[in-house]
Structure 1
Amino acid sequence: MHIGVVAERTGLSLRTLRHYDEIGLVHPTGRTDGGFRLYSEADVERLLLIRRMKPLGFSLQEMQDLLTLTDALAAGEAPETALQELRRFESLAAERRADLSRKMQMADEFLDRLRALSASDGSGQ
């Protein structure tokens, strides 16, 4: 599928998709005769994994490390430490999700306070 379709399916911008290709994070499976990028379903799945990691603050290097690990696991070529490394990623994701939950709670409290203020006459009484 062409890059525009992939962008729509993944919610990633064309610029981001091109950047990921340039840095070697996710290469399109092929190219048209005219040089346009062509992505497979597997490429889209990799991009969706990356998109899920972004809000949790994973770095591009961490994303690459996880993709390399998942590729090795899928190919049956994972090192002995693969399961331990996968659990490390799981633990990091859980910690970062908990942090986001705390931030969401604070944001909700802040919004509730603003709404209460705007519902009053603004005098604080």
Structure 2
Amino acid sequence: MLTISQVSERTGLTPYTLRYYEKIGVLKGPSRREGGARTYTESEVSYIQCLNNLKKLGLSLEEITEFTRDGCVMEKIQLGEDPANFTPTLNKRTEILSKYLLDLEAKQQELDHMISLTKEKLAVYLELSKGSYEAPI
């Protein structure tokens, strides 16, 4: 069992963020020790890392809550549950991820364009600094 501080170190999320996620229902409340201190299992830490990755993708907390509504579906399917039981959930997750994939691809194109422009400028500046640049006619 891990403490909230240990989970914070492993996930990069602050204890405040973990408690906030618990408060708004993004994260289920963990077990507690006799004195009330939160304790987390390795499975819960993996789930928190999954939440963190979804947040890094740009999903809102509402979308993350929707995305994770039925828990770890992949784990349930691997344990033998029928994937057909999760059709609505899988469809919603597919919809959410497809939207964000389009956003990421658009950002990638923008970054590729900026990288290209930066390389062009850099080449010009390097030529100018060598004194061998000739202005176009």
Q: Report the TM range for the smaller structure's normalisation.
A: 0.7 to 0.9
Aligned residue identity for 2:41: S
2:102 matched to which residue of 1?
98
Aligned length: 124
> Kindly, what percent of the aligned residue pairs are identical?
29
Aligned residue identity for 1:23: I
Aligned residue identity for 1:87: N
Q: CA deviation at 1:107?
A: 1.1
Distance 1:118 1:22 in 2: 49
TM-score (norm 1): 0.73
Aligned residue identity for 2:97: A
Q: CA deviation at 1:21?
A: 1.6
Q: CA deviation at 1:116?
A: 2.4
Q: CA deviation at 1:106?
A: 1.2
Distance 2:86 2:49 in 1: 21
Q: CA deviation at 1:93?
A: 0.2
Change (3 A) 1:32 1:70: closer
Distance 1:54 1:107 in 2: 21
Change (3 A) 1:86 1:16: same
Unaligned ranges ≥5, structure 1: none
Distance 1:55 1:109 in 2: 23
Q: Which structure has the larger Rg over C-alpha atoms? A: 2
The answer to whether residue 14 in structure 2 is matched with residue 13 in structure 1 is yes
CA contact (8 A) 1:56 1:93 kept: no
TM-score (norm 2): 0.68
- Residue 111 of structure 1 aligns to a residue in which SS? helix
Unaligned ranges ≥5, structure 2: none
The answer to whether residue 88 in structure 2 is matched with residue 87 in structure 1 is no
Aligned residue identity for 1:115: K
1:41 matched to which residue of 2?
42
Q: Name segments (4+ residues, structure 1) moved above 6 Å.
A: none
Written as runs of structure 1 = structure 2, the 5 A alignment for 1:21-36 is 21-36=22-37
Q: CA deviation at 1:20?
A: 0.7
Q: CA deviation at 1:103?
A: 0.7
Aligned residue identity for 1:83: T
Q: 2:121 aligns with which of 108, 111, 117?
A: 117
